[in-house]
């Protein structure tokens, strides 16, 4: 009993010095509920309250940093594990990848608009690189048959030279290949879009000259893939 009284006195003394519950519990090892009961009538000065508030804030920040670090580690582990599951990509694999990419992001021929050529649009640089490789390696399309258009929000009209240099570096094509550039008007002032900062380079459209027959081939390939999948 005497020990408990001494512990209570120590706890009260520490609290009056502006110590937090966590700091007191390191010195006085009792249940937090007991500590709360002991300290409920102990008043604190504004300076002491500020110290405790700052301590809690610092603890919260440290906890947030630790959680973020753990999340990033888990994320990287998942990515690296799944990355290792991809083995060698064969030429046929690349063929199928390109067809599916175009199926998702490419221009299709319409009954009311026959003769549509190959056109593929995206803002993901890796997807652009992969599609260009598909055109060259699988479809045997030469560079002189490939053209580009860039679509950028008008709010980035002062960065057009930077945008063109970016896509030139990504594709390996000279700057004069990116003379066709269109500004998209911003209809909404407030947006939740994240791709509007300095890392925004618009959408790149790849088009292939005289390629209406290639569009028809791609249509046949996508039909074939769909039919084979559902025959498995």
13 or 74: whose pLDDT is higher?
74
- The model scores a pTM over 0.75: no
- From the number of C-beta atoms within 10 Å of its C-beta (0-12, 13-18, 19+), residue 12 rates as middle
pLDDT of 2 reads 47
HSE, side-chain direction, 13 A CA sphere, residue 177:
21
Q: What is the pLDDT of residues 69-79, one digit of tens each?
A: 899 999 999 99
pLDDT of 192 reads 57
* Among candidate residues 209, 216, 181, the one with its CA nearest the CA of residue 119: 209
Q: What is the pLDDT of residues 111-121, one digit of tens each?
A: 666 778 999 99
Could you give phi then psi for residue 42, rounded to 5 degrees?
-85, 120
Query: Is the pLDDT confidence value at 168 over 90?
Result: yes
The residue length of the chain stands at 232
């Amino acid at each position: 009993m005497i020990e408990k009284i001494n512990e209570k006195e120590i706890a009260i003394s520490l609290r009056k010095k502006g110590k937090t519950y966590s700091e007191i519990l390191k010195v006085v090892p009792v249940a937090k509920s007991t500590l709360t009961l002991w300290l409920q009538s102990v008043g604190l000065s504004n300076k002491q309250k500020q110290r405790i508030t700052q301590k809690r804030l610092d603890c919260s920040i440290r906890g947030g940093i630790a959680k973020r670090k753990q999340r990033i580690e888990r994320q990287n582990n998942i990515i690296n594990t799944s990355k290792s599951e991809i083995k060698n990509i064969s030429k046929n694999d690349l063929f199928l990848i390109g067809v599916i990419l175009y199926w998702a992001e490419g221009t299709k021929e319409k009954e009311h608009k026959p003769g549509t050529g190959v056109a593929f649009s995206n803002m993901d640089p890796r997807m652009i690189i992969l599609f260009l490789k598909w055109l060259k390696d699988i479809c045997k399309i030469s560079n002189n048959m490939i053209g580009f258009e860039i679509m950028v929000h008008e709010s980035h009209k002062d960065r057009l030279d930077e945008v063109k240099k970016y896509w030139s570096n990504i594709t390996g094509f000279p700057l004069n290949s990116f003379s066709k550039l269109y500004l998209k008007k911003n209809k909404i002032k407030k947006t939740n879009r994240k791709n509007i900062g300095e890392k925004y380079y618009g959408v790149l459209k790849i088009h292939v000259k005289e390629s209406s027959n290639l569009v028809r081939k791609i249509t046949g390939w996508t039909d074939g893939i769909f039919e084979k999948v559902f025959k498995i």
